[in-house]
Copies of this chain bind each other. A is one copy, B any other.
Amino acid sequence: MAKEKPVKLTRLELEIMGAVWTLGSGSVREIREQLPEEKRPAYTTVQTIIYRLEEKGAVRRVKKIGNAHIFEAVVTRKAAHNHLIDELLHVFGGSPRSLMAQLVETGQLTLRDIRELEGTLAKLQANKTTTTADNSLKNKSGRGSKRRQGDAK
C-alpha cells in the first residue's frame, strides 16, 4: 500500500530539501538561510522551489506563524536518497556490486571501510536475528531521527 510515487527531485530541489530535512520545519526564510551561503539563491527563488516541492507533494505547510507559512518535509530523506540510488543503480545495470567496485577502484572506498561496514553489519544482523529470529532484508520501517527543530531565528 501507499505507493509513494517516487517524486523526482531536481538538483536544486534536493539542495533545498536537504535544508528542510535538517531543519525539521521552517519558513521560506529559515530554509533559505540554512543553505550554505555560496549557493544561496534569492529569496524568491527558494520560495518558487518550495512551491514546486509542495505541488510535487514533497513538502507541506503545517502552520502559520505571523503571516509566514511553516513548511515541513513529507518525503523523507531516506526515501529520496533511496530513489537516487535506484536511478544510479539502473545506470550501472542494476548491480550494486559494480558500483561498489568502482568506488573502490577510485579509492573512494577503502578496504578498511569495507571491513568496518562488514563488521557493523554482521553485528547488526546477528543482533536482529536473535531478536526477531528472522530478518527480511526488505524492512523499510522508518525508525527514529524525527525532529530536531529548535531555532530561535
Contacts of A113 in B (CB 8 A): 96-97, 100
The verdict on A68 contacting chain B, using a C-beta distance below 8 Å, is no
Q: How far is the CA of A139 from the CA of B107 in the complex (A)?
A: 8
- Total interface residues in chain A, CB < 8 Å: 40
The verdict on A137 contacting chain B, using a C-beta distance below 8 Å, is yes
Contact (Cβ within 8 A) A111 B96: no
- Binary CB contact string for chain A from 104 to 131 against chain B (1 if under 8 A, 0 otherwise): 1111111101111110011001000000
Closest 5 CB pairs of A and B: A107-B137, A96-B109, A114-B118, A96-B108, A96-B103
Selected A-B contacts with CB under 8 Å, 7 pairs: A78-B102, A81-B102, A85-B99, A96-B108, A107-B138, A107-B139, A111-B121
